[in-house]
Chains A and B, each alone.
Chain A
Amino acid sequence: MFPDLALGKPEVRQIPLHLDNRADGDERYWHGLGLLACGLALEPIQVQPLLVTASASPLGGAAPIRAVLVAAQENLSAATPRLLLPSLEGAALQPRMSLHVAMIAHAVAHLRYSPVGQPSSALKPMGMTVVSAIEDARVERLLMRAYPGVRGWFGAHLAAEPDPSDLTFRAFMARLDRILFCTASSSSNHWVSKAQELFERTVGEHGLEDYTAFRAIASILANDLGQMRVRMDPQHYVVPSPFRDDNSYLWQHPESELGDEALALQQTGARPPPAGAGSSTSEEVSPSQPLDLVRYTYPEWDHKIERMKADWCTVIEGHFTRQGSSQSQDNMPQAALRMANLRLRHARQLDRRHSLRRQWEGDELDLNAAIEVQVSRRMDLQPDPRLFLRAGCGPRPTSLLVLMDLSESVNRQAANGLALLDVEKQAAMLLAQSATQGLDRLAIHAFSSNTRAQVNYDRVLDFGEPCTTVVADFINALQGRYSTRLGAALRHASELLLSEPEGQRTMLVITDGEPSDIDVHDRRYLIEDARQAVLVARQAGIRICCLSVDEQADDYVRHIFGWRNFSIAADPQHLPQRLAHMSARLAAGR
């Protein structure tokens, strides 16, 4: 904010994932706010929660927090502007939403109309604050001209009218905010009415677009305040209207490292690619690993720069979990009963190899029927009008790929002592056995990840492979370890699905938690990456659905897979049923 405030700035950072045990159910909430911001700003803008650790603030957490707007940078670290909003946790949904919406509108006003990063060196803190307040009023008016409806959004959260006896700086700024917003009102205070008169006259003479004219009146007003001996305490000053941002967007401070430091902490912890890693499907195999490993590289989506990072993740394909497949079969019990009636229906599709005879309408005449019509007519009988030939519907080749999450967390035992891994194994086993009963092609693949350099991918059961006892042993020997880098696995699975015969290609992802990896500290990063992978696969014609056993998953799973493309089994024991239900629905093409 101000140069001399460098030490007083609250420490801003994103809490790393593993510490984040809030019941954080608002991925969708932020996504919706982001959509609103893009629509209003007419350019991409990211909206993110601003997390502040209160203990690091010398203000003792007592001062209210304002939004922070960060301009787009030329370098690739931030190609789009970002808006960090105080998350206002604990507030009821309606007021929280209403305040956030007003904050977004205000930030959009700056983005659209304010000059960014003006040099601040010539100004004292008070001058800068008054210039900022006038600028706030100016850009809000411009925005209200473009979107008349936002007036109500701002009005609901304007600073309260201070007590007439209150002659502090903050009270003057609150009066200024109010008088410039409510044009019809008037004030008994000389300075405030002077501000109103100057502002309205400038609007009339120069128009709202003229930044310099408004800057000039702000200087006059700040000077007057100085002469009135009004004192400002820059350490503790916060703009009075809660929807306005801290105005750091407007200023370029000579030695400002505070902004950079605070924001650098929000970057992901991903490292640059190691030298030599790169070329796609390179066959380099390090000597310590078995030779049947094949490596593929995939890009990864960085939501901060809105770009793909090329060749970012290495997917290693092989049978990782098959060594020492000597586990006993004791975990493969009862659920068989519940899955037994899993019959997958076929999707139907127009197929010219079947022609339907004697149709009411069709492309061609059915010759036999036409002859009979002529015969009937000669005999003065009513002819059968069904005499056309039409192409029938044949079964559509269906490929279903089940992608299982085998990260460490699947080993966690539920209350009844059954780990998710066991349930996953049962479900996989039963699906594998059912494959012979109707589904054309089924594959069961599993993945786990250990940083971007090692995304393990195991084709447990591949397309067209019969379900033998060997496969059963493989499934039985699966182990959960490492993390969940979902996006890379999704991209690899999509590639494999696309080499399947044309028809209906479907992927079903089974997971127990949100994407995470130890080299990524921004919890949104992998979620956005996975979402991007899903969008790309969907454009290529792959249907992707997700089955999650995380009760808290509603939010991010919906964000990744989209509305209606997910299901949540709150109890892992319900997984087999849900799986049966979902694969039947998918196979039927619905």
Chain B
Amino acid sequence: MADYRIREEPYYRSTGNEKALYEQAYRHRMPLILKGPTGCGKTRFVEHMAWSLNRPLITLACNEDMTASDLIGRYLLDSDGTAWHDGPLTMAVRYGGICYLDEVVEARQDTTVVIHPLTDARRTLPLDKKGEVVHAHPDFQLVVSYNPGYQSSAKDMKPSTRQRFAALEFDYPHPDCETDIVAHEAGIAPEFARKLVSLARSTRELKNRGLDEGASTRMLIYAGLLLRDGVSPMDSCEMTIVRALTDDPDAALALHRLVHAQFGA
């Protein structure tokens, strides 16, 4: 479990009272949903909270082919016969960590029901194949994230799963705050960061017009990193924002002009 502990403080800039709310939820070990657009800092927030609460963090990115045994564990064969190997969820439950299921709606609904007994008053995880019931460690907490924006209604959580969670909603930070974040994370001057943030605001305006989502804070940081290393602003934005956001040549041209408006000579 020591490997899962976060040693250094992850940079996280609070935009409201979400830290205090998380701590309150953790006091009751309440399961949490973090909602918000791509790259707005959900994962970083969980890392930061795990660090500040001094708990191990076990992260699992969900995908469509994931099965319940990928979460709880399976039998493997070794020299003495079969041996049970705990899955990441079981590890967190047994030894007391924060288990973070990223993009939880990507997993199929029949997979996610294994968390049901963990997320109510029982706080147990039955391992039916092994014939064991694991009682959750007092420190265990389950956190899941998802992005309500682009996922279709076909991919949604079952109401029975959903109602077991409290939810925190995230959005892109306020421009001033986002400028600080980009300047800090990419190590660039605030005036460049401000321009990147202003560009991001323009692209977010195009959501559902030509783009599925606007530029995320993470993208801005990527652009900033290239900028810091001496790549020209036009080139770095072209590479990390314009080409990354869309394949559609028309939308790309519009984005290209927005970059030019911001950084052009």
> A147 in the interface, Cβ–Cβ < 8 Å?
yes
Residues in chain A near residue B67, CB distance under 8 A: 363, 391
**Cross-chain contact of B264 among A44, A149, A350, A391 (Cβ < 8 A):** A149
> B43 in the interface, Cβ–Cβ < 8 Å?
no
A242 to B154, CA, bound (A): 50
Cβ proximity bits A18-54 to B, threshold 8 Å, 1 near / 0 not: 0000000000100111111011111110000000000
Task: Give residues 26-83 of B contacting A (CB, 8 Å).
Answer: 64-65, 67, 69-70, 74-77, 81-82
A147 to B202, CA, bound (A): 11
Q: Is the CB of A39 within 8 A of B250?
A: no
> B7 in the interface, Cβ–Cβ < 8 Å?
no
Q: Most chain-A CB neighbours within 10 Å: which of B64, B75, B208?
A: B75
A42 to B198, CA, bound (A): 10
A151 to B152, CA, bound (A): 41
**A39 and B258 contact, Cβ closer than 8 Å, known pairs A28-B250, A150-B264, A363-B69:** yes
A563 to B249, CA, bound (A): 9
**Cross-chain contact of A540 among B77, B153, B261 (Cβ < 8 A):** B153
B124 CB to closest chain A CB (Å) equals 22
Cβ proximity bits A298-317 to B, threshold 8 Å, 1 near / 0 not: 00000000000000000000
Cβ proximity bits A140-157 to B, threshold 8 Å, 1 near / 0 not: 000000111111110000
> B260 in the interface, Cβ–Cβ < 8 Å?
yes
Residues in chain B near residue A539, CB distance under 8 A: 152-153
Q: Is the CB of B154 within 8 A of A540?
A: yes
Q: Is the CB of B205 within 8 A of A365?
A: no
Task: Give residues 218-265 of B contacting A (CB, 8 Å).
Answer: 247-251, 253-255, 257-265
By size class, the interface of chain A is 35 or more
**Cross-chain contact of A35 among B70, B250, B261 (Cβ < 8 A):** B250
Q: Is the CB of B206 within 8 A of A32?
A: no
A104 to B206, CA, bound (A): 16
Residues in chain B near residue A148, CB distance under 8 A: 261-264
A292 to B262, CA, bound (A): 61
> B203 in the interface, Cβ–Cβ < 8 Å?
yes
Q: Is the CB of A40 within 8 A of B202?
A: yes
> A88 in the interface, Cβ–Cβ < 8 Å?
no
A370 to B64, CA, bound (A): 28
Task: Give residues 32-78 of A contacting B (CB, 8 Å).
Answer: 32-36, 38-44
Residues in chain A near residue B201, CB distance under 8 A: 42
Q: Is the CB of B206 within 8 A of A387?
A: no
A462 CB to closest chain B CB (Å) equals 24
A44 CB to closest chain B CB (Å) equals 8
A41 to B202, CA, bound (A): 8
Cβ proximity bits B125-155 to A, threshold 8 Å, 1 near / 0 not: 0000100000000000000000000001110
A377 and chain B: residue at smallest CB distance? B79
> A472 in the interface, Cβ–Cβ < 8 Å?
no
A42 to B205, CA, bound (A): 6
**Cross-chain contact of A149 among B129, B248, B253, B262 (Cβ < 8 A):** B262
B84 CB to closest chain A CB (Å) equals 11
By size class, the interface of chain B is 35 or more
Residues in chain A near residue B198, CB distance under 8 A: 146-147
> B88 in the interface, Cβ–Cβ < 8 Å?
no
> B210 in the interface, Cβ–Cβ < 8 Å?
yes
B88 CB to closest chain A CB (Å) equals 15
Residues in chain A near residue B265, CB distance under 8 A: 149, 151-152
> B209 in the interface, Cβ–Cβ < 8 Å?
yes
Q: Is the CB of B247 within 8 A of A563?
A: yes
> A374 in the interface, Cβ–Cβ < 8 Å?
yes
A568 CB to closest chain B CB (Å) equals 17
B53 CB to closest chain A CB (Å) equals 33
Task: Give residues 355-380 of A contacting B (CB, 8 Å).
Answer: 363-365, 370, 373-374
A177 CB to closest chain B CB (Å) equals 21
A370 to B198, CA, bound (A): 60
Cβ proximity bits B175-194 to A, threshold 8 Å, 1 near / 0 not: 00000000000000000000
B68 and chain A: residue at smallest CB distance? A363
A380 to B206, CA, bound (A): 67
> A105 in the interface, Cβ–Cβ < 8 Å?
yes
A86 CB to closest chain B CB (Å) equals 20
Q: Is the CB of B77 within 8 A of A35?
A: no
Q: Most chain-B CB neighbours within 10 Å: which of A36, A370, A373, A563?
A: A36
Residues in chain A near residue B258, CB distance under 8 A: 36, 39-40
B261 and chain A: residue at smallest CB distance? A147
Residues in chain A near residue B248, CB distance under 8 A: 562-563
Task: Give residues 182-241 of A contacting B (CB, 8 Å).
Answer: none
B204 CB to closest chain A CB (Å) equals 9
> A81 in the interface, Cβ–Cβ < 8 Å?
no
> A101 in the interface, Cβ–Cβ < 8 Å?
yes
Q: Is the CB of B75 within 8 A of A36?
A: no
Q: Is the CB of B77 within 8 A of A387?
A: yes
Q: Is the CB of B81 within 8 A of A105?
A: no
Can you offer 18 A-B residue contacts whose CB atoms are under 8 A? A32-B254, A33-B254, A35-B206, A38-B209, A39-B202, A43-B205, A105-B261, A146-B198, A147-B262, A148-B261, A148-B264, A152-B264, A350-B65, A363-B69, A365-B77, A391-B67, A539-B152, A563-B249
Residues of B within 8 A of A (CB): 64-65, 67, 69-70, 74-77, 81-82, 129, 152-154, 198, 201-203, 205-206, 208-210, 247-251, 253-255, 257-265
Residues of A within 8 A of B (CB): 28, 31-36, 38-44, 101, 105, 146-153, 350, 363-365, 370, 373-374, 387, 391, 535, 539-541, 562-563
